[in-house]
Structure 1
Amino acid sequence: MSTTQVRPTNTQAFFVQSALSFGVSAIGMATGVAFLPVGAWTRAFLALGLLYVITSAFTLAKCVRDRQEETTVSGRVDQARLDKLLAEHDPFKVDNP
């Protein structure tokens, strides 16, 4: 009998995608705003693109936090308890009064 993991986890691909998204957006926006030959108002408008960098940073922080939580002892103990309960549970068992 195989058990399925109940707690959702992030895949390695999602973690890499969020890290790359943060890095590319931060470097691209900083370079673009710094070297574009335009006036101050245009630079300020383009700096609004840094909002994307901020959302990418939150996504990356969430991934790092979730990965760290997966390795904590309490998380592993809770997962083991849940796996044990699910393994012992019989959904077709009927209790007769």
Structure 2
Amino acid sequence: MSASIQRPTTTAFFVQAAISFGISLVTMAYGIAKLPLGDWERGFLALGLVFVVTSSFTLAKCVRDRQEIGEVTHRVDQARLEKLISEHDPFEVKPL
């Protein structure tokens, strides 16, 4: 039975994700700062941006945690199955 191999994230993918996140955050902050609005409206939009960013990180962490739990459960189930198969003797005669 083959174990699933999780490939590590490449450096290029990590850099691309970090740069795209940085660009989107900076451009949104710049757009909010340059809008022709009052301080209260600008503060409200900035607070909304902060909420979106933090909730995105939280969602990513929850997805990652759920995936890791699934992988651990799969490995435990696989180990139990392998133990049962290794302990099973098809030629054993069981009393009635």
Using the size of structure 1 for normalisation, the TM-score is: 0.42
- Bigger relative contact order, structure 1 or 2 (CA pairs below 8 A, ≥6 apart): 1
Structure having the larger proportion of residues in helix: 2
Using the size of structure 2 for normalisation, the TM-score is: 0.43
